[in-house]
Amino acid sequence: MTADKAFDLGPVPTRMPVTEELARSLVSAQFPQWADLPVEPVANGGWDNWTFHLGTAMVVRLPSAAEYAQAVEKEHRWLPALAPQLPLPIPIPLAKGKPSGEFPHAWSVYEWLDGVTATGDRIADQVQFGRDLADFLAALRSIEAGEGPQPGTHNWFRGGTLRTYDKDTRRALEELADVVDVELAREIWTNALNASWNGVDRWFHGDLAEGNLLLDDVRLAAVIDFGTCGVGDPACDLAAAWTLLTAEVRQTFRDRLSLDDDSWARGRGWALWKTLATCSHAYQDPEHMEVYARTMRILHEIFEEYTASRHACVGVAPAPSVAR
């Protein structure tokens, strides 16, 4: 794959509804040994898959669209190979369901991993959380990547160039022109697009959002949902430095991964794209004002960190920069 070639993401997938009754029927038909176990929806079960508890120790994941179903084979091939080489638990597939007249895609049964999602108010020790996350990524990056899945439609070209997301980012900036410092955002985005990558493929997760990181009482306990994983440029995982970590912990995270300026700039670009995309969807929507407020706080973090780093290079104290 050409390192700097942008790809067409295509239309937004059309999700198909999946009911509890359908999930139960599929399990009964294809895995009769589990037919007597209760099937219940998982709260906040995600977007790419419809997720259901199967008893107390397993979970059923049914792709919500054909595009998301591409990840099923990949996860069954690679997650058992990755798991023993990582310092934290990841989901292990227990069984793979076949497409049928009831449901047109392959689907999965996984072991259930306990924990609560890593929202900011639940992270008791940000420093330890940042260290644990960096150590997980370091271990993931160290795994042999030679035969791993290259960026493609199976993961929306994570691991490829940010230029694939250039149109979406610029469209979001146009929509948010009244509330965002567009000039500064464009500068950060251009800086990310121009940051070089050494071309060495590394494993990445692809979606280190708070819902995919599980906590026990204190520490990071598991990493879930590898649907966007692959090998390529791992900078997409660095977005978590801005979306999940405080300013005080961010530098520790960077140092622990020994990241150069170009890697950091690309990671910042991934954080900017994701935050702007979320913000543009939530903007002026009364039902998503909490999401909008949160993304504006993240934009503030991105702007402040970039401005500080830019001025540090020339020895000038930064002026405050905020999403207005």
What is the band of 315 on the pLDDT scale with cuts at 50, 70, 90? low
Residues 172 and 41 occupy one common structural domain: no
One-letter-per-residue 3-state SS of 129-179: HHHHHHHHHHHHHHCCCCCCCCCCCCCCCCCCCHHHHHHHHHHHHHHCCCC
Q: Are 84 and 133 a contacting pair, CB within 8 Å?
A: no
Residue 319: the pLDDT is 47
pLDDT > 50? residue 186: yes
**231 and 97 within one domain:** no
Averaged pLDDT of the chain: 94
Residue scoring higher pLDDT (3 or 111): 111
Residue 296 domain boundaries: 117-314
**Residue 28: band (very low, low, confident or very high) from pLDDT cuts 50, 70, 90:** very high
Do 250 and 144 belong together in one domain?
A: yes
* Residues across the chain: 324
Do 268 and 130 sit in the same domain of this protein?
Answer: yes
CATH code where residue 110 lies? 3.30.200.20
Mean pLDDT (whole number) for 100-122: 96
Share of the chain above pLDDT 70, in %: 96
Do 84 and 123 lie in a common domain?
no
Query: Which long-range contacts does 67-73 make (Cβ < 8 Å, 24+ apart)?
Result: 67/10, 67/13, 67/153, 68/13, 68/227, 69/105, 69/106, 69/107, 70/153, 70/154, 71/154, 71/155, 71/226, 71/227, 71/228, 72/96, 72/105, 72/106, 72/107, 72/108, 73/106
pLDDT at residue 321 is higher than 50? no
Q: How confident is the model at residue 218 (pLDDT cuts 50, 70, 90)?
A: confident
Q: Do the strands 107-111 and 230-232 form a parallel or antiparallel pair, or are they unpaired? A: unpaired
Same domain flag for 97 and 173: no
Q: What is the pLDDT of residue 310?
A: 86
Q: Is residue 90 part of a domain?
A: yes
